[in-house]
Chain A
Amino acid sequence: MSVKRDSFSVSITVGAYGSAFGAAAVAADFSVLQACLLSLLLFSGASQFAVVGVIAAGGTPINAIATSTLLGTRNGLYGLRLAPLLKLRGWKRVLAAQITIDESIGVALAQKDEAQMRKGFWYTGFGVFIFWNLFTLAGALGAQSIGDPSAWGLDAAVPAAFLGLLWPRLSDRKSWVLAGFAILLALSLTPFVPAGVPIISCTALAIIIGWRK
C-alpha cells in the first residue's frame, strides 16, 4: 500500500514540474511537438532542461547534446544498480531502461524488500512518465498562447528549475565548493568563447573535485 502511495505522490509532484519544462522549451523557441518529444523520448528532467538551457543561451546543437548526455550518465549507473534486481530481458528491459530516472530509482531504493523495490520502480517510473508528459503538453500549450516570455518570467523559470534540481545535491562541503567554482568558471569564460562552451567546460571541475576522495 505505502509503496503505491509513495509512487503516486512522487509522480504527481515531479510530473507537475513538467509544465515548467514545457513552458521553458516553448519560450526558448522549441515547438510544442519538440517539447513533447523531449519529454517522451529523452525523459530525464535535468537533461531536458539542459537541451533547452544551452540552446536558449545560444549554444550549438552539438553542445546541447553533449551537456544533456553528460547529465544523463547517472541514469546508466542507476541501470547498473537495478539490473540484478529487475533481471529483465527483451522489450521489458527496453521499457525499464526508458523509465530509469532519479525518481524511480529513489523510490525503489527506499523500499525494504526486493518485491517492494520492483513495485516502487515500475509504479514510480510509469507514474512520472504519464504525469510528466501530460504536464509538458499543458505547459507548452500555455506558453505558446502568451506573448513575450520575459513578461511572464519564463526566462527566469529556466534557471530556477535548474536550481530546484541542484539544491538537493548540495549535500556536502565539496559540492558547495564545486558549485562556487562552476559559477566563476562559467561566467568568466562567457565573454570569450562561443555560447554553450562555458557550461560544458565545468565538467573538468567535476573531474578535478571527484578525482581524490
Chain B
Amino acid sequence: MSTFWIAVIGSSALAFVIKFVGASVPETFLSNPRILRINTFIPVALLTALIAVNTFADKTKLVLDHRALGIAAAVTLLIAKAPFPVVVLGAALTSALAYRYI
C-alpha cells in the first residue's frame, strides 16, 4: 500500500475513534484540568510547527524562498482582519508572484 493510502486510511480511522470514544465514555480523567490545558495547547504547538516547516524547510534543509513572502502576506492580512479565504488567496498570490519574478 502506498504512503498516501496508509496516511489517508490510518488518520481517518483514528480520527473517528477519538470522536466516538469522546461521545461514549463517562467524564473521567479526561476532565482533569491539566489534561484540558495541555489539550488546548497541543493545536498551538503543532500548527505553529507545521507552519514553520512548510514555510522554511525543503525536506531536511532550511531554506528562505518565495513561500516566506507568501506567509508574510498572510500575517499582514490576518492583522488587517481579512477573512480566511482572502488570507489563503493572498498568500498564494504573493508566493506565486515571488516564485515567478524573484
Contact = CB atoms under 8 A, between A and B. Distances in A.
B22 to A, nearest CB: 3
B41 A175 contact: yes
Contact of A166 (B36, B44, B61, B93): B44
B14 A72 contact: yes
Contacts of B43: 46, 71, 74, 165-166, 169
A18 to B, nearest CB: 10
Interface in B13-37: 13-16, 18-25, 27, 30-31, 33-34, 36-37
A199 B53 contact: yes
Could you tell me the dominant secondary structure of chain B's interface residues?
A: helix
Given A78-B22, A156-B91, A163 B51 contact: yes
Contacts of B52: 182-183, 186-187
Nearest to A211: B34
Given A42-B12, A159-B67, A153 B19 contact: no
B45 A83 contact: no
A30 B22 contact: no
B5 A34 contact: yes
A61 B61 contact: no
Interface in A41-58: 41-44, 46-47, 49-51, 53-58
Contacts of A8: none
A80 B30 contact: yes
Given A79-B19, A211-B34, A58 B59 contact: yes
A105 B48 CA distance: 23
A116 interface: no
B70 A64 contact: no
A165 B96 contact: no
A157 B19 contact: no
Nearest to B69: A156
A187 B62 contact: yes
A6 interface: no
Contacts of A194: 60
Interface string B66-102: 1101110111001000011101101111111101100
B71 A163 contact: yes
Given A72-B19, A93-B24, A206-B45, 16 more contacts: A57-B53, A65-B7, A73-B18, A82-B23, A83-B23, A83-B24, A97-B16, A100-B23, A153-B91, A156-B67, A160-B73, A160-B91, A163-B74, A163-B91, A182-B44, A206-B42
